[in-house]
Amino acid sequence: MAEIIDGKAVGEEVVAKVRKLTAELVASGSAAPGLAVVIVGEDPASQVYVASKSKKAKECGFHSVQHTLPAETSESDLVELIGNLNADPKINGILVQLPLPAHIDSGRIIQTISPEKDVDGFHFINVGKLGTGELDTAFVPCTPAGSMLLIERVRGKDLSGLSAVVVGRSNIVGKPMANLLLAANCTVTIAHSRTRDLAALARTADILVAAVGRPEMVKGDWVKPGATVVDVGINRIPAPEKGEGKTRLVGDVEFTGAEKVAGAITPVPGGVGPMTIAMLMANTLASASLAAGRPRPEF
C-alpha cells in the first residue's frame, strides 16, 4: 500500500514557517507583509475561498485587506483599484478571485497586477520567468508550487533520471507543473484529452500528476508500481450511499485502485488542496522580503 502524502500537515508546516519569518521581518523594523484580496460579485464558492485566504493571512501576521465589489462593477473601476493597490507600499500581494463576471476581461485584469505583487503567478512576466528557469525571482502559481513541495518530500529536490507525466495542460496547473519538474531535472511529458493511449503513457511515469478535472479518470492500472501520484483534481460526485442528494469529493485519480500500486499518493481531500493556500502565504512573504531587501525565504 502506498504512503499517503499528508498535504494538510505539510501545509501547516509551511504556514508555521511563514508565521515565524513574518515575526522576524517585523522585528527587524520592516512592515508586515500585506495581502489584498479582491472579489467581484457574490459567487458562493469564491466567497468561501476568499474568506479562508483572508483568515490564513491574519493567522500569519499579515496586513490583510479585502475588497468586495458588486457584480456590476465596471472593468475600468477594477483596473483603477488594482492600480491603487500596485502603488500602495503596504500591499505586497494582490489576488483577484476568479472567475470574474462575464463583462470583465480576466486576462486584462491579471496582466494589470504588478509582477512583483502577482502572488498567484499568472502575470506573463512570472510565466516567462518560470518557463526560462528563473525561479529565484519568479512567482509560481500556488497549486503547482504546493504539489512540487509534496513531490520533494517523497523524492527530494533533484529528480534527475526520473520520468514525469503531467495529465492536463492548463495555464494554472499543467504547464507550470511541467516547468517545475523540468527545473528539477525530470524528463517531462505533458498529456491531455487528445493524447493517444494515455493509460500506456501514464504507466511510464515515476511521477504522475493528474490535473484534468475529470472524476477518477486515472485508473489504478494506469499507475506504474512505486510511482509518486499527485492528484490535483477536486470533483464533487453523487454519493447515494450517504443518503438522497448527498455528494462526496473525489480527485482525478481512482484512489482505491491507485493506492494499491503507487509508492506514494496524495488523497482528496487533504492532499494538494491545503498546499495551495499555504503557498499563497509563502509567495506573499517572499514578495515582502524582496521589497525589504531581504533574501527570499525557501520552503
Residues with catalytic roles: 53, 97, 120
* Residue 226 burial (C-beta neighbours within 10 Å; 0-12, 13-18, 19+): exposed
CA atoms within 13 A on the CB side of 25: 29
- CA 70 from chain center: how many Å? 26
Q: List the alpha helices (DSSP H) in 156-254.
A: 174-183, 198-202
Rounded-to-integer distance, Cα 292 and Cα 299, Å: 19
Residues in Cβ contact with 8 at an 8 Å cutoff, skipping those fewer than 6 apart: 270, 274
Per DSSP bridges, beta strands 264-265 and 228-231 are parallel
228-231 and 187-191 as β-strands: parallel, antiparallel, unpaired? Answer: unpaired
Helices (H), the chain: 7-27, 44-59, 75-87, 106-112, 124-131, 142-155, 174-183, 198-202, 255-259, 273-291
Burial class (CB in 10 A: 0-12, 13-18, 19+), 190: middle
Contact partners, residue 297, CB within 8 Å, separation at least 6: 17, 18, 21, 282, 285, 286, 289
Task: Return the sign of the alpha-carbon dihedral for residues 36, 299, 209, 268.
Answer: negative
Count CA atoms within 13 Å of residue 178 on its CB side.
Answer: 18
For residue 136, the tally of other CB atoms under 10 A from its CB is 9
Our CA dihedral for 276, 281, 287, 288, rounded to 10 degrees, sits at: 180
